[in-house]
Amino acid sequence: MSDPKRERGLCEIYQDDPERADHLVFGRRAHADRRGFLRGAGLAAMGALLGASIPFHRNMPAGLIPAALAEETELSLFETKDGLVLLNDRPVNAETPAHLLDDSVTPNARHFVRNNGTVPDMALAMDARDWRLTVDGAVDTPLSLSLDDLRSRFEVVKLKLQIECGGNGRAGFNPPAKGNQWTLGAIGNAEWTGVRYADVLKAAGVKSEAIYTAHYGMDGHLSGNPDKLPISRGVPLAKAMEPHSLIAFEMNGQPIPALNGFPVRTICPGWPGSTSQKWLRRIELRDVVHDGPKMTGTSYRVPYYNVAPGTKVDKEDFRIIESMPVKSLITTPRSNMTVNARNLALRGHAWAGDAAVSKMHVSIDFGANWIEAELDAPPNPYSWQDWRAAVTFPEKGYYEVWARATDDQGRMQPFAVNWNPKGYLNNTMHRIAVTVAA
Which residues would be at the binding site for Mo ion (CB under 5 A)? 114, 165, 273-274
DSSP 347-382: EEEEEBTTB-EEEEEEESSTTSS-EEPEEPPPSSTT
| Residue 252 engages ligand MTE in binding (rule: CB under 6 A) | no
Q: Shortest Cβ distance from residue 166 to Mo ion (Å)? A: 5
From residue 406, alpha-carbon distances to 168, 187, 189, 324, 416 in Å are 19, 18, 19, 13, 15
Contact 237, 212 (CB under 8 A): yes
Q: How far is the CB of 438 from ligand MTE (least distance, A)?
A: 40
Distance from C-alpha of 161 to C-alpha of 149, rounded to nearest angstrom: 23
216/171 Cα distance (integer angstroms): 29
Residue 98: CB minimum distance to ligand MTE, A: 16
Residue nearest to Mo ion (CB): 165
Is 217 a binding residue for ligand MTE by CB under 6 A? The answer is: yes
Of 334-363, binders to ligand MTE (CB under 6 A) are none
| Binding site partner of 6, from ligand MTE, Mo ion, none, Cβ cut-off 5-8 A by kind | none
- Which neighbouring-strand residues pair with 319? 302
Alpha-carbon dihedral 284, 144, 114, 296, rounded to 10 degrees = 10
Contact flag: residue 81 with ligand MTE (CB under 6 A): no
Q: Kindly tell me the burial class for residue 178, based on how many C-beta atoms sit within 10 Å of its own C-beta (0-12, 13-18, 19 or more).
A: exposed
How far apart are the C-alpha atoms of 126 and 316, rounded to whole Å? Answer: 42
Question: Is 189 near ligand MTE (CB under 6 A)?
Answer: no
Binding residues for ligand MTE restricted to 137-176, rule: CB under 6 A: 163, 165
Nearer of residues 176 and 410 to Mo ion, judged by Cβ? 176
- CB atoms under 10 Å from CB of 173, counted, come to 21
Select from 114, 301, 359, 404 the one that contacts ligand MTE (CB under 6 A).
Answer: 114
Residue type, 155: E
Is 231 one of the binding residues for ligand MTE (CB under 6 A)?
A: yes
Residue closer to ligand MTE (CB basis): 112 or 419: 112
413 counts as binding ligand MTE under rule CB under 6 A: no
Q: How far is the CB of 174 from ligand MTE (least distance, A)?
A: 22
Tell me which residues touch ligand MTE (CB under 6 A).
Answer: 111-117, 163, 165, 188, 217, 219, 230-231, 260-261, 273-274, 276-279
